């Protein structure tokens, strides 16, 4: 089975979304809260890409959402968090006023 244009767009957009998500996410949020917010963004990505690719029906929407969720998670864990970009964005946009709130962990 070949991926559709909507699925490819959902994946590509999902790979680029973690820095955007980091603007909203606060370092003090719990893991489940951050996960729920990521799923809401993935839902928007999947629905939007299905709509703009004229595939706005049940299955393409669901596969778009799931594709976006996987792409966002993989991108965050493999690129944006290890590079320190997403944590620095979270810290810079934090409302707590703690500059080190989202700094990446130091190697032991």
Q: Residues 13-43: pLDDT tens digits?
A: 999 999 999 999 998 999 999 999 999 999 9
Q: Residues 33-85: pLDDT tens digits?
A: 999 999 999 999 999 999 999 999 899 999 999 999 999 999 999 999 999 99
Supply 49's token pair: 């890409």
Residue 57 CB neighbour total at 10 angstroms = 9
Inter-residue contact 72 to 41 (CB < 8 Å): yes
Distance CA 33, CA 25 (A): 9
Does the global pTM surpass 0.95? no
Residue 54: per-residue pLDDT = 94
Choose among 31, 28, 10, 26: nearest CA to 75.
Answer: 10
Q: Give the contacts of 104 (CB within 8 A, at least 6 positions apart).
A: 81, 82, 84, 87, 88
């Amino acid at each position: 089975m070949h991926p559709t244009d909507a699925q490819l767009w959902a994946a590509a957009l999902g790979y680029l979304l973690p820095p955007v998500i980091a603007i909203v996410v606060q370092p003090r949020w719990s893991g489940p809260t951050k996960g729920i917010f990521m799923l809401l963004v993935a839902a928007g990505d999947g629905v939007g890409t299905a709509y703009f690719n004229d595939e706005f029906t049940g299955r393409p929407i669901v596969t778009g959402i799931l594709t976006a969720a996987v792409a966002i998670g993989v991108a965050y864990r493999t690129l944006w968090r290890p590079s320190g970009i997403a944590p620095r964005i979270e810290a810079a946009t934090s409302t707590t006023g703690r500059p080190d709130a989202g700094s990446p962990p130091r190697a032991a």
